[in-house]
């Protein structure tokens, strides 16, 4: 189990270190194979233009969920991560399904493991995450993030983030090398 201090660091560092960890929601989930960091000094970060009702959780303590609704139909899951006095988060973009695969297949209406959690909106659908899961603790109840087991050799590839219009080139997307469960390949 990761301590709160793990999340009390720069969001880009936390994003890097979350690759290889296991994310579970009510026991359903898998290994994080893709994550992106968003810091408060970053034009693509929701916290960049100050606090609003939607993003207020970004300004609260690290180690909580930030879920928001996008494109009129998708929920996206973040983990709040920042040093004291800042605001930032890690977008969880893809999982390798390992726990509760059948349930995820039902929710996604498909069997293909590679398509179950290979995108930020796919994985929230597979794990049954919606706006009600915003601002939840990672230590009480529904959510759990387990560190990679000791000795696991995690090779992480770095590249530009996906789907944003600002700060496109900043290399704050982190992927598990060789994974076939990414939302898209990394160059």
- By CB under 7 A, is residue 78 in contact with DNA? yes
Q: Which stretch binds DNA (CB under 7 A): 23-31, 114-122, 135-143, 148-156?
A: 114-122
The DSSP annotation for the chain comes to: ---HHHHSS-HHHHHHHHTT-EEEETTEEEEEEEEEEE-TT-TTSTTTT---TTTGGGGS-SSBEEEEEETTTEEEEEEE---TT---EEEEEEEEEEESHHHHHHHHT---GGGTSSSHHHHHHHHT--GGGTT-BSSSSSEEEEPPPTT----EEEE--SS-SSSTT---EEEETT-S--SS---
- By CB under 7 A, is residue 70 in contact with DNA? yes
Residue from 4, 27, 41, 52 in contact with DNA (CB under 7 A): 52
- By CB under 7 A, is residue 46 in contact with DNA? yes
Residue from 64, 122, 136, 173 in contact with DNA (CB under 7 A): 122
Residue ranges binding DNA (CB under 7 A):
36, 38, 44-46, 49, 52-55, 66, 68-74, 76, 78, 89, 91, 108, 115, 119-122, 131, 161-165, 183
């Amino acid at each position: 189990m990761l301590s709160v201090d793990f999340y009390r660091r720069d969001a880009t560092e936390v994003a890097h270190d979350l690759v290889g960890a296991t994310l579970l929601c009510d026991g359903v989930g898998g290994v994080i194979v893709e994550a992106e960091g968003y810091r408060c000094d970053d034009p693509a970060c929701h916290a960049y233009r100050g606090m609003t009702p939607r993003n207020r959780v970004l300004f609260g303590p690290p180690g909580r969920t930030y879920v928001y609704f996008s494109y009129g139909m998708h929920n996206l899951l973040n983990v709040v991560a920042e040093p004291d006095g800042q605001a930032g988060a890690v977008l969880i973009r893809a999982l390798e399904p390992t726990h509760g695969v059948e349930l995820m297949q039902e929710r996604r209406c498909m069997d293909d493991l590679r398509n179950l959690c290979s995108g930020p909106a796919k994985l929230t659908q597979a794990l049954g995450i919606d706006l009600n899961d915003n601002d939840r603790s990672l230590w009480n109840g529904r959510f759990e993030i387990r560190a990679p087991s000791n000795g696991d050799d995690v090779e992480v590839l770095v590249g530009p983030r996906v789907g944003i219009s600002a700060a496109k080139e900043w290399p704050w997307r982190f992927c598990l090398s060789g994974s076939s469960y990414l939302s898209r390949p990394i160059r």
